[in-house]
Structure formats: structure tokens, C-alpha cells
């Protein structure tokens, strides 16, 4: 597949278990080959990577070739996380967000409206008001899917509905749409051996910048304190941002409830109740 897409012979493989797989092109160039899990997934990911790269802020692996089902990207040699790289990543992440988006929910140029976050469908439907858009397109669709799938009880859905009703008061000061990675958990942060951070597997869209930062905190990230320090140096967050973390974590937590079942339901409910208590 890599040979067909790049026009270069494959001389060997280093890892072929699962996707992405690492292969060697003729001359020893390592690349990553990834197969899209659903129609439109590759198009969405490639458009997202290119949109993030266009900001010239956070680095991403270069897309070398793609078609409707497969993509080939450069392989990033990885090293150990370090505090200086984390600080610089915070600066770069602030610059990425500042590059902006036309609307909340805007898809990347050439990206489909029907995109994905991990394996879950994610619709990029533009909106002008973040609280209304977040409730209608990032919280309630996954609440409904979780209830339909039996991983949330109908009575529990009411907790999330109350959060959505109160979102205009909970959201903090209005901000312009930010250019988000959209799935910025630790597994999508690559600490390069050259001391620079790259990000992979975006679910890129226009959103609130605090959402990316809340997702970094959700599953833990090395040197997160230094990332946040760098971010605050470059683009200070609005007062009360730390109290809004649980609000912004509702989206990824509900995605996990839909994808992985009841085990995440209590965590999502806890975040919703925490948001309501603020």
C-alpha cells in the first residue's frame, strides 16, 4: 500500500501489527501507514493534519500520500518527555488556538462535516454561540447515543441536560473560535527525540480553547504543569478556567461512554455534577 501511494518501493517492515504500521521505503526511509476505520475517516484526518500544520504552531507529521482509505505519514522518532519541550509545546498550542476558525464547529478546509473523534462519529456543524453549539453538537448527541446504547440510564441523562440548560452561565467569558486539535489526550502527543512535540490523530474543528487543555488533563500528560505555564505565558486563560475543566471534559468522557461502555458513565456523571456545583 505504501508503495502504491508514494510511488517508492518498500524495502522492509518494522511493525505490521495493527494500524498504523511502520514500513521502510526504498533507501531506508521509515513511514507510518494507517487505514481509515470508516468511510471519510482518512479525508477528515488528513484535512485536520493539514489545517493544524497551516497554523505553523504545533508540529504534526507530514502527510506524504493518501487515498480514500489509506494514508502515509512521516515517522516521528520519539524520545523522553522533558520540561523545556513541554514549555515550548504550551507556547505552540496557544499559537495554534489563536490561528482561529471561522465558526465553532467549523470543519478544516476540505474536511467533511461528518468527521470522527477516535472511532465515534462527530459532526462539524457551524454555530456562532459556544454554549448553544457545545450543548447541541458536543454533549447531547452523545448523551442520546449512550442512552440508546444502554450505557446511560434515562434518568442520568437529565444531569447532562441540566448542565446544557445552564451552559450560558457556566461557560465563562465569550471567546472567539479556536483552532482545536480536538482529541488532545496524552496518547496523541509525541515527544520527539529532537526535543519538539508533535501531535497526531486530530479531530480538528473550531471550538473553545479550554477544551483541548481539559482533555490533556483528563488522562494525564507528562509535565502538564509546564505545558500550562507555557500556554499562560503566551495567551493567558480567562479567570475561572480551572473551575471549567470538568465542563470541557464532558465531551471526551461522553465519547468514551459511547465507545467503551458503562465504565466511563460514572466519571462522566461526576464531571457533570462538578460543573453544576461551580
Residues 6+ positions from 244 with CB-CB distance below 8 Å: 170, 171, 172, 210, 214, 275, 278
Tell me, rounded to whole angstroms, the distance of Cα 94 from its chain centroid: 15
Count of other CB atoms within 10 angstroms of residue 173:
8
In the chain, the DSSP E strands lie at 10-15, 21-25, 29-35, 63-66, 70-74, 114-117, 120-123, 178-180, 189-191, 197-199, 205-207
The reply to whether omega before 20 is within 30° of 0 (cis) is yes
Alpha-carbon radius of gyration of the chain: 19
In the 8-state DSSP scheme, what is residue 236? P
Q: Active site includes 183?
A: yes
Largest Cα separation within the chain, whole Å, is 60
Residue 257: HSE in the Cβ half-sphere, 13 Å Cα cutoff? 32
Work out the burial of residue 16: count CB atoms within 10 Å of its CB; fewer than 13 is exposed, 13-18 middle, 19 or more buried.
exposed
Question: In the numeric block, which cell numbers belong to residue 138?
Answer: 458536543
Query: Which residue in 183, 194, 212, 274 is the catalytic one?
Result: 183
Torsion angle, alpha carbons of 58, 7, 108, 91, to 10: 0
Residue 189: strand pairing partners: 199
Tell me, rounded to whole angstroms, the distance of Cα 10 from its chain centroid: 31
**Helix H or strand E encompassing 248:** helix 245-260
The values of phi and psi at residue 198, to 5°, are -115, 160
Residues annotated as part of the active site: 183
Amino acid at each position: 500500500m505504501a508503495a502504491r501511494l508514494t510511488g517508492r518501493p518498500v524495502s522492509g517492515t518494522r511493525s505490521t501489527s495493527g494500524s498504523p504500521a511502520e514500513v521502510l521505503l526504498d533507501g531506508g526511509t521509515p513511514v507510518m501507514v494507517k487505514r481509515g476505520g470508516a468511510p471519510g475517516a482518512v479525508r477528515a484526518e488528513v484535512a485536520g493534519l493539514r489545517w493544524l500544520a497551516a497554523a505553523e504552531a504545533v508540529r504534526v507529521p507530514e502527510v506524504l500520500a493518501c487515498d480514500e482509505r489509506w494514508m502515509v505519514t512521516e515517522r516521528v522518532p520519539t524520545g523522553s518527555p522533558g520540561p523545556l519541550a513541554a514549555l515550548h509545546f504550551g507556547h505552540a498550542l496557544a499559537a495554534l488556538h489563536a490561528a482561529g476558525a471561522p465558526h465553532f464547529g467549523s470543519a478544516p478546509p476540505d474536511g467533511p462535516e461528518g468527521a470522527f473523534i477516535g472511532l465515534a462519529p462527530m459532526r462539524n456543524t457551524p454555530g456562532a454561540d459556544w454554549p448553544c453549539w457545545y450543548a447541541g453538537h458536543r454533549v447531547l448527541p452523545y448523551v442520546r447515543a449512550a442512552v440508546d446504547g444502554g450505557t446511560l440510564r434515562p434518568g442520568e441523562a437529565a444531569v447532562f441536560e441540566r448542565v446544557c440548560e445552564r451552559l450560558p452561565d457556566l461557560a465563562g467569558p465569550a471567546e472567539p473560535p479556536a483552532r482545536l486539535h480536538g482529541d488532545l489526550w496524552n496518547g496523541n502527543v509525541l515527544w520527539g527525540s529532537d526535543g519538539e512535540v508533535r501531535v497526531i490523530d486530530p479531530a480538528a474543528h473550531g471550538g473553545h480553547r479550554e477544551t483541548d487543555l481539559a482533555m490533556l488533563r483528563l488522562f494525564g500528560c507528562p509535565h502538564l504543569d509546564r505545558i500550562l505555564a507555557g500556554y499562560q505565558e503566551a495567551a493567558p486563560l480567562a479567570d475561572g478556567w480551572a473551575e471549567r475543566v470538568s465542563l470541557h471534559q464532558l465531551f471526551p468522557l461522553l465519547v468514551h461512554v459511547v465507545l467503551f461502555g458503562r465504565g466511563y458513565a460514572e466519571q462522566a456523571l461526576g464531571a457533570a455534577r462538578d460543573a453544576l456545583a461551580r
